[in-house]
Structure 1
Amino acid sequence: MVESVNIQTISATEPDWNREKCERWWEPNRQLLKSIRNYQKWRVTGGIVGGFLCRWNVLLHRFWSVVTGADIPLNCQLGGGLIILHPNGIVIHPGAFIGPNCLILQQVTIVEGVKIGGHVDIGAGAKIIRPVTIGDHAKIGANAVVICDVPAGATAVGVPAKIISLPSSGK
């Protein structure tokens, strides 16, 4: 007898903010994201209180950046629901765009002009070194060097990265 399994699909458009929620204080990966989110929120709010809280979040960001060993600037464009399990060595250029509900593992480099769609998984050590577009639900393998666009739902691996699987058309 085969049981049906309820597989929850992750949206490529609607951020799941629970993925970033801190369960306890010592979660450096989530605290780093929290400091970035709060800085951006207070920067828009402005005023005396906003200015003070911006500065406070700059200090928190610097602390958590040292703890995690990540280089994720305060002004980067990160979609909601981002998961960074092991942020050590992650470098994201502020000119890159990362969509909602993505997963980024350690030692990933993302350069200027990169556009990453929603729910993209990027394996450890991957380098995205040219301004490319990565489609929704794509997967980038560990240590892949991406120098060309990756279509939605595809998997790219290798140096340089090659597409090894495309999504089925459902026919």
Structure 2
Amino acid sequence: MFTLRDVIQKEIKMDKKKSIIATLSIIIGNPSKRVILLYRISKISYDKGFCKLGILLRNRMILKYGVHISLKADIGLGLELRHINGVVIGDGVKIGKNVVIYQQVTLGGQNLGDSVKNNYPIVGDNVIIFAGAKILGDVIVGSNSIVGANSVVIKNVDEYSVYAGIPAKKIKDLKELSE
């Protein structure tokens, strides 16, 4: 579990040299940072046993920003929401570190009853998910991969690769670029 300090340093991208006023101005001026901070505070509250406070803050995030991130999701530090409109992250979703998500992205179950079976996506580290992509069901999105805009992922995504289309297929290998 993360502390609020971890969140501010890693996700608001502030270091110890910045003043509190500089940090607050970044949070106030950037809706994406506000949503991430609101989510992290609601998640920390929920996990520490202050469930009603966590749910209240999460509901505010849904109503004010149109972002629904489940308090049961497991999301690593460094999450970046480039455009916050319409992002949905379901109950059992696991997301690694330094993941970038664009608007209208859904990560969740593929069928009714998936919450009982825990059939949710697992997203690795350093993944970029472009606008409108849907990642559904018990799939793994490998680290250092890219999911193209409006793609529907229902099968595993290899590491160091680009997937796009409906259903998503591998269109590029990024391994040679990483070496």
Class of the TM-score when normalised by the shorter of the 2 chains: 0.7 to 0.9
2:94 to 64, 72, 97: 97
Question: Contact 1:156 / 1:163 at 8 angstroms: preserved in 2?
Answer: yes
Task: Report what 1:106 is aligned to.
Answer: 103
Aligned alpha-carbon RMSD (Å) = 2.4
Find the residue that maps to 2:43 and give its secondary structure: helix
Give the distance between the partners of 1:43 and 1:109, measured in 2 at CA: 22
| Paired AA for residue 28 in structure 2 | W
Q: How does 1:109-148 map to 2 (within 5 A)?
A: 109-112=106-109, 113-148=120-155
Question: Contact 1:32 / 1:65 at 8 angstroms: preserved in 2?
Answer: no
Question: Contact 1:122 / 1:142 at 8 angstroms: preserved in 2?
Answer: yes
Using the size of structure 2 for normalisation, the TM-score is: 0.74
- Structure with bigger helix share is 2
Question: Contact 1:103 / 1:122 at 8 angstroms: preserved in 2?
Answer: yes
1:85 to 82, 85, 95: 82
* Percent sequence identity over aligned pairs: 32
Cα deviation 1:58-106 (Å, max 9, x = unaligned): 3333222212211112221111110012121111111111111000001
Structure 1: stretches of 5+ with no match in the other structure: 1-14
Structure 2: stretches of 5+ with no match in the other structure: 1-5, 13-23, 110-119
Give the distance between the partners of 1:161 and 1:130, measured in 2 at CA: 13
Using the size of structure 1 for normalisation, the TM-score is: 0.77
Give the distance between the partners of 1:82 and 1:108, measured in 2 at CA: 14
Regions of 4+ moved over 6 Å: none
Q: 1:91 to 1:24 in 2, by over 3 A?
A: closer
Question: Contact 1:28 / 1:64 at 8 angstroms: preserved in 2?
Answer: no
Q: 1:126 to 1:82 in 2, by over 3 A?
A: same
2:37 to 34, 39, 43: 34
The structure showing larger relative contact order (alpha-carbon pairs under 8 Å, at least 6 residues apart) is 1
Give the distance between the partners of 1:17 and 1:138, measured in 2 at CA: 26
Find the residue that maps to 2:69 and give its secondary structure: coil
Question: Contact 1:32 / 1:61 at 8 angstroms: preserved in 2?
Answer: no
The alignment of Structure 1 onto Structure 2 pairs a total of residues equal to 151
| Paired AA for residue 11 in structure 2 | E
Question: Contact 1:35 / 1:58 at 8 angstroms: preserved in 2?
Answer: no
